[in-house]
Amino acid sequence: MPVFQVFGRRQCIPVPAWIQAISSFESFSTEALKRAYGLYPNRHVQNQKLKIGITGFGKFGQFLARTLVRQGHTVLAHSRSDYTHVALELGVTFFEKPHDLCDERPEVILLCCSILSARHVLLTLPLLRLEPGTLFVDVLSVKEFPKKLLLDVLPTNLRDCNSLFWQLGQFLAKTIVRQGHQVLAYSRSDYSSIARELGVTYFHDADDLCAQHPEVILLCTSIPSTEAVLKSFPLQKLERSTLFVDVLSVKEFHRNLFLQHLPPDFDVLCTHPMFGPQSAKDGWSGFLFVFDKVRIGTDEARTSRCDWCLNIFSSEGCQLVETPCAEHDRQAAGSQFITPTVGRILEKLDFLEPTKIDTIGFESLLNLMDNTVRDSFDLYFDLFLFNKNSRQQLERFHLAFESLQNQLFDHVLDNLKQVLKLEEESHD
């Protein structure tokens, strides 16, 4: 049984050869397609019918769809151009929006876009709406680029993408419940047992949660999934003036999302607790809590509700810091991006390891490297992608490294010139 790199997971696992062929497509042909999907009579999967979503429904996507439909698979398609009539002729269900395609829960996503547009297509797909374990397949003519792209952009596991950030939700809920507040929760994955242990009322459907008319909605999603969550949220079932609060580490991007997608009557409080389940496992006291009252109604009830939310953290000993979202991102680009960048650069230096004569500074660098690699690359990438200041910092970091390198070489040349000058003078 061969080893196949499953996109969306950071490990190789053994799978049947017919799945491996799907990821290859190095020289595509009808024969290769038959091998890929195990459509020969002696294949044990020959009767398996799949629901396949095609993104990029140009000529090549249509070419593949024709055969897939003939084989009995359910084929869905999305493309920026309108191919509704072509899809109807082929027996394909066409969607103008990627969200609608993903809501159909296809088992396979077939990327038939151009090489240049592949990153944009992946970043605009609402991954939160897909089932855990969804298989991503590319048919591009180059392989190393899409492999790296898929591994970088896709969550390591679609289910983990939710559960990782639900850990933060559990972490916050534990303290909020202890303070005597009523806490309701919803997530795509089933955490009803954990919620019961924490004293939280759990809902399997967002509509049911919103029907309870919570005064505050606390978003503990991942950075890239926030827009999809907001778009799919049944806002019409909430009371007018409901307060939305986020706890994400990038602020301006989410501030703009809130203002774009939430009705103007809703209040918005953007926050960033500068701690998490690991760093604050013994309590929140002494940690920073950054916030920005983006849009809070002027009546006493709404201002009091906002203050009550902030009091959840101040009463636990957090140091509250009010900062505009844009300023937060500017300042955080150093601590949140440059710091892990240095750690990841050190990780690339395979020869770095403890020795018997380590200096305190070197030990600090090793600790930085160890702490950095514990965090997922997905989070690091999100901090780069969704904070424009991070990109500027990376460019400045690169220029600073070049400047330092040039300074060293210039110094070598200056010393060499001095030596040559002294030698000439000695000959004279």
pLDDT at residue 61 in the model = 93
pLDDT at residue 264 in the model = 94
pLDDT at residue 66 in the model = 94
In a domain, 428, yes or no: no
What confidence tens digit (pLDDT) does each residue in 258-276 have?
A: 999 999 999 999 999 998 8
Q: Are residues 174 and 287 in the same domain?
A: yes
Residue 45 has pLDDT above 60, yes or no: no
Q: Are residues 285 and 315 in the same domain?
A: yes
In a domain, 131, yes or no: yes
Q: Are residues 84 and 185 in the same domain?
A: no
pLDDT at residue 115 in the model = 85
Burial class (CB in 10 A: 0-12, 13-18, 19+), 107: middle
Range of the domain at 309: 159-323
pLDDT at residue 383 in the model = 80
pLDDT at residue 47 in the model = 57
Lowest mean pLDDT among 147-156, 324-333, 400-409: 147-156
Domain boundary among 132, 154, 176: 154
DSSP assignment string, 170-227: HHHHHHHHHTT---EEE-SS--HHHHHHHT-EEESSHHHHHTT--SEEEE---TTTHH
Q: Are residues 404 and 378 in the same domain?
A: yes
Quick one: which of 393, 273, 252 has its CA closest to 326?
Answer: 252
What confidence tens digit (pLDDT) does each residue in 348-371 have?
A: 887 778 888 888 888 888 888 887
Between 423 and 182, residue with greater pLDDT: 182
Residue 85 has pLDDT above 90, yes or no: yes
In a domain, 423, yes or no: no
Count of alpha carbons within 13 angstroms of residue 322, beta-carbon side? 7
Q: Are residues 96 and 191 in the same domain?
A: no
Domain boundary among 274, 302, 323: 323
pLDDT at residue 424 in the model = 80
Beta bridge partners of 3: 14
In a domain, 239, yes or no: yes
Average pLDDT, the chain: 81
pLDDT at residue 5 in the model = 30
DSSP assignment string, 224-272: TTHHHHHHHS-GGGSPTTPEEEE--S--HHHHHHHHHHS-TTSEEEEEE
Q: How far is residue 132's CA from residue 163's CA, in Å, rounded to a whole number?
A: 11
Quick one: which of 223, 237, 206 has its CA closest to 161?
Answer: 223
Residue 148 has pLDDT above 50, yes or no: yes
In a domain, 426, yes or no: no
Lowest mean pLDDT among 46-55, 98-107, 331-340, 367-376: 367-376
Q: Which CATH number is 253's domain given?
A: 3.40.50.720
Quick one: which of 385, 370, 76 has its CA closest to 224?
Answer: 385
pLDDT at residue 21 in the model = 29
Give the strand order in the sheet containing 51-55.
Answer: 93-95, 74-78, 51-55, 108-111, 135-138
pLDDT above 90 covers a percentage of the chain that reads 40
Residue 35 has pLDDT above 70, yes or no: no
In a domain, 419, yes or no: no
Q: Are residues 258 and 285 in the same domain?
A: yes
Domain boundary among 154, 183, 211: 154
Between 26 and 376, residue with greater pLDDT: 376
What confidence tens digit (pLDDT) does each residue in 177-228 have?
A: 999 999 999 987 788 899 999 999 998 888 898 999 999 999 998 888 888 8
Q: What is the tally of structural domains in the chain?
A: 3
Q: Are residues 79 and 224 in the same domain?
A: no
In a domain, 377, yes or no: yes
Q: Are residues 317 and 186 in the same domain?
A: yes
- Report CA dihedral (38, 39, 42, 48) to the nearest 10 degrees: 80
In a domain, 55, yes or no: yes
Q: What is the DSSP letter of 9?
A: S
What sign does the dihedral 320-323-324-329 (CA atoms) show? negative
Q: Which whole number is the average pLDDT over 276-293?
A: 92
Cβ distance 369 to 346 under 8 Å?
A: yes
pLDDT at residue 391 in the model = 83
Q: Which whole number is the average pLDDT over 274-282?
A: 86
pLDDT band at 88 (very low <50, low <70, confident <90, very high): very high
Q: Are residues 242 and 95 in the same domain?
A: no
Q: Are residues 225 and 301 in the same domain?
A: yes
Q: Is 71 left (phi over 0), alpha (psi -120 to 50) or beta?
A: alpha
pLDDT band at 75 (very low <50, low <70, confident <90, very high): very high
Q: How far is residue 208's CA from residue 206's CA, in Å, rounded to a whole number?
A: 5
Q: Which of 43-47, 139-143, 148-152, 169-173 has the highest mean pLDDT?
A: 169-173
Q: Are residues 54 and 73 in the same domain?
A: yes
Residue 32 has pLDDT above 60, yes or no: no
Residue 286 has pLDDT above 60, yes or no: yes
Q: Are residues 229 and 112 in the same domain?
A: no
pLDDT at residue 353 in the model = 80
pLDDT band at 69 (very low <50, low <70, confident <90, very high): very high
